[in-house]
Amino acid sequence: MIVPTNAGQTGLMPSMLHFFQELKRRHVIRVAAIYVAVGWVLAEVAGFAADTFGAPDWVVQMFTILILLGFPLVLIGAWAFEITPDGLKRDVAKGKFSAGANGPPPFEQSANHEPPSSQSIAVLPFVNMSSDPEQEYFSDGLSEELLNMLAQIPELHVAARTSSFSFKGKDEDIRSVAGKLSVANILEGSVRKAGDQVRVTAQLIKAGDGYHLWSETFDRTLEDIFSVQDEIAHAVVDALKISLLGEAPKARETSPEAYALYLQGNYFLERADRESMGKAHDAFERALELDPEYAPAWSGLSYTVVWQTGYHGIYSIQEGVARAREAGERALALDNTLAEAHAGMASIKLLYDWDWAGAEAATQRALDLAPSDAQSVLQAGLVAMALGRFDEAIARFRQLIALDPLRTSGYHYLGLTLSKHGRQDEAREAFSKELSLSPGRAGTHYLIACTRLLEGDPQAALDEAELDPDRLWREAGKAMALFALQRKAEADEVLAQFIDSFQHDGAVQVATIYGHRDEVDEAFHWLDKAYEEGDPGLSQILGDQFLKSLFDDPRWPAFLEKMSLPEITG
């Protein structure tokens, strides 16, 4: 419901209007009326019974007092809970907005202190109201699908998944959430799935004052779930008064069984660990067995295989890239408007094909289709960084942080690019923010150690490298810091152990360590080895400050030409 612009003429403050609106939405007024009616009937019956059986007056008086004392308790219960087919449940919106004695809490604005656009929104994960907790994949998946649909609207700023889903299960004031995500509106709700029956409750809330702009409950079958998504997206567009330049986005339909498996695949894909990736791979393949023409499942399979190849070593680079490319190309052949498929292909072209033009074209296509898609913005930044366009990359990573402020990769790559740009203090600030969001993030302490080395403080670099939880990055940082401290024997020993352990996974890093040591021949040897093995780390060699000793060597421009990279010497 949109509050009329002349609401102030009623003489009620907005918080009071909201209070009465909440009373109505939570059925408090209805419960009060029923309680009064039932209480009056019971009091009359008690009086009649007392007269009939000659009971003393205090019995009727005590009964009446008990009815009166129960009245506020019933109202409190009506406010806090709702009756559902699964029993008594806490109200979904409980705790998200409350006007206390001093009024509603202050609105948290974005980091730059500018209020968010009125046409901005975050989709919070819908609450799983099903009796089976394993149905959570369905409520999460439906929320994500709605988020992806809304991200296709150029006129709407949509907070990305990583940030919006970080509030899952947290009873946090809704305006605090909106402030942290730099949005003006919140879409939240619940999903109850029982067999083929689905109940979806959705509500769009204006975070600045807590008003419900729109709310609806859909009782449908799984066959109709796509129309529910379309209706919610249309309702958001209408409520936020968005003038679309093109058509409103529509859900991509498939069979209910294939869709459920697709949502399972996405659910496990987000977990990222080795076991979950195997489950995601299996779910996507089963979905495609049911519907080989469902493009989103092909795209999900492509992402999964890339992750299994690069992070878990399930496939060799050659086999994994071939599988991922085949799935990604199949997705695009079926649906060329699928933004995530273009972003996935951009990643393959960037990291493994070193097809810079192809990666840039695929990224731009993804951005055209879904301007608010965080993965597409990340890819745009990575392409710019790979090609040495550091100012552009920094702007893209800042855009990613604005879209997805709780996603660590935005701060990670912002810091990496700032360091390439020679701005070590700013880089360290970005890395520190990354660690505050994810204290166990692999490689971040190593990168902070690199900034200390570049500033000429090897002892601080060694101390920082020791903190990295990942052995590859910890040992790489130690090898470089020990050498800078002129503890060459120790540095040589650590480097030898590093090569023995990581010669196939860290060829680029070995080249970087030798570059730091000014051992140019060895550095080129390992760069050539990385090239032969298709090491994706070569996509980030431009601007690497530890390879400066190679820049004046004629082999450097020859190597860059072999990779079709522009020559950057700063």
Per-residue pLDDT of 438-458, as tens digits, reads 888 889 999 999 999 999 999
**Contact 403/525 with Cβ under 8 angstroms?**
no
Alpha-carbon torsion, ordered 238, 242, 243, 249, to 10 deg: -70
pLDDT of residue 223: 85
Sketch the domain layout of the chain as residue ranges. Answer: 27-90, 120-251
pLDDT of residue 337: 92
Separation between Cα atoms, residue 77 and residue 26, nearest integer Å: 10
Pairing of strands 157-158, 197-206: unpaired
Separation between Cα atoms, residue 329 and residue 146, nearest integer Å: 24
Pairing of strands 87-90, 120-123: unpaired
Residue 189 bridge partners (DSSP): 202
Distance of CA 141 to the CA centre of its chain: 13
**Could you tell me the CA-to-CA distances from 45 to 37, 49, 273, 562 in Å, in that order?**
12, 6, 65, 95
pLDDT over 90, % of the chain = 44
**Contact 567/560 with Cβ under 8 angstroms?**
yes
End-to-end Cα distance, the chain: 57
Q: Which tokens belong to 558?
A: 């020859």
Residue 217 bridge partners (DSSP): 201
**Could you tell me the CA-to-CA distances from 314 to 119, 311, 319, 351, 567 in Å, in that order?**
43, 8, 10, 17, 35
Q: Which CATH architecture has domain 120-251?
A: 3-Layer(aba) Sandwich (3.40)
pLDDT of residue 381: 96
Three-state secondary structure call for residue 121? strand
Separation between Cα atoms, residue 221 and residue 298, nearest integer Å: 25
Low-confidence ranges of the chain (pLDDT < 50): 1-21, 25, 83-90, 92-112
**Could you tell me the CA-to-CA distances from 480 to 36, 299, 326, 432 in Å, in that order?**
78, 40, 40, 21
Separation between Cα atoms, residue 198 and residue 221, nearest integer Å: 6
Of residues 144, 139, 173, the one with CA closest to residue 159:
144
pTM of the model: 0.71
Q: Which tokens belong to 516?
A: 């730091």
Query: Which run of H or E residues covers position 198?
Result: strand 197-206
What is the three-state SS of 509-547?
A: HHHHHHHHCCCHHHHHHHHHHHHHHCCHHHHHCCCCHHH
- What value does the CA radius of gyration of the chain take, rounded to a whole number of Å? 29
Separation between Cα atoms, residue 94 and residue 90, nearest integer Å: 7
Three-state secondary structure call for residue 183? coil
Of residues 218, 293, 304, the one with CA closest to residue 265:
304
